[in-house]
Amino acid sequence: MEPIIRIAVQKSGRLSEDSLSLMKECGIKYNNGGGKLKATSTNFPIEFLFLRDDDIPGYVADGVADLGIVGENEIVEKNKQVQTIRKLGFSKCRLSLAIPKGENYTDLSYFQHKNIATSYPRILGDFLRENNINAEIHEISGSVEIAPSIGLAEGICDIVSSGSTLMMNGLKEVEKIFSSEAVLISGGNLPVEKQAIVDKLLFRINAVQKGKSNKYVLLNAPNDSLDKIITLIPGMKSPTILPLAQEGWSSVHSVLSEDQFWENIEELKAAGAQGILVVPIEKMVI
């Protein structure tokens, strides 16, 4: 039987769409009709398991799945033996302490002997212990932001991204205790044939991630400013320079990170660059 790897992804929620988009960008196709909880790729040796995100670290640690895509918050909370093999840059959020907005907050001692509702008792418990705060942790599995308004707890510890859920529930963020993003995890110690498939997948993920963080830049420049422009957009090896139909002008093509582009834009213009186009890159292999 041909070797195949299994990857656990969230069935539906904040991680699902970006996890599956990443697979698609890696050229991996699959059919998932009828809400099936398992799907096999039609063009890559990988099987998808669609699960609750809470269960993903455990499935990977136990070897039921070879890989998983999950938030760092769940890995630390579940305390399973898994390795993070790639940060994926999506589902960025933080775990924060929040209290009713009318309350006067000074420092962490506010939480001394208070009740705090959370779905993350381990991360919160560790944080409170490290800071010598003796508080009561009230574990609930969702809709944590409701807790203070119904008298279940005086504060909460939950995921915050834009802060709008806190605001809508009359709460304010007072301490950030953990930062998280989606990561690719493995249980380690894979047989060589499976590791070879994982390496192939990682190669594709690298190409996708590099493509996303870089841009293809095209501009027109007078020939006497080319030396300066080449130093500003040196590219992977060196820029491509093509003559324009108009005498004394060239088209310069190069690759650079988006940050670098914004930093150098004024200097490029000052050096005489015109008609600057910035184009997304789908994949990039160095």
Ligand X SMILES: O=P(O)(O)OC[C@H]1O[C@H](OP(=O)(O)OP(=O)(O)O)[C@H](O)[C@@H]1O
Ligand Y SMILES: Nc1ncnc2c1ncn2[C@@H]1O[C@H](COP(=O)(O)OP(=O)(O)OP(=O)(O)O)[C@@H](O)[C@H]1O
Residues that bind ligand X (CB under 6 A): 14, 142, 145, 158-165
Q: Which is nearer to ligand Y, 52 or 269 (CB)?
A: 52
- Residue 107: helix, strand or coil by DSSP? coil
In the shown chain, the binding pattern of residues 150 to 169 toward ligand Y, with x for contact by CB under 6 A and - for none, equals: ---------x-x--------
Among 41, 118, 169, 180, binds ligand Y (CB under 6 A): 180
Q: Which is nearer to Mg ion, 71 or 187 (CB)?
A: 71
For the chain, what is the radius of gyration of the CA atoms? 25
- Residue 81: helix, strand or coil by DSSP? coil
Min separation Cβ 71 and ligand Y, Å: 2
Residue of 161, 12, 176, 159 whose CA lies nearest to 73: 159
Min separation Cβ 53 and ligand Y, Å: 4
Count of CB atoms within 10 A of residue 6's CB? 19
* 10: partner contacted, choices ligand Y, ligand X, Mg ion, none (Cβ within 5-8 A by kind): ligand Y
DSSP structure string for 251-277: EEEEEEEHHHHHHHHHHHHHTT-EEEE
Q: Which residues of 116-138 are buried (b: 16+ CB within 10 A; e: fewer)?
A: bbbbbeebbbbbbeeeebebebb
Of 48-56, 58-66, 185-193, 237-245, the segment contacting Mg ion by CB under 5 A is: 48-56
- Residue 237: helix, strand or coil by DSSP? coil
Among 18, 25, 47, 54, binds Mg ion (CB under 5 A): 54
Please state, in angstroms and rounded to a whole number, the distance separating the CA atoms of residues 90 and 209: 11
* 163: partner contacted, choices ligand X, ligand Y, Mg ion, none (Cβ within 5-8 A by kind): ligand X
In the shown chain, the binding pattern of residues 48 to 67 toward ligand Y, with x for contact by CB under 6 A and - for none, equals: ----xxx-------------
Binding interface with ligand Y (CB under 6 A): 10, 13-15, 52-54, 71, 73-74, 91-93, 159, 161, 180
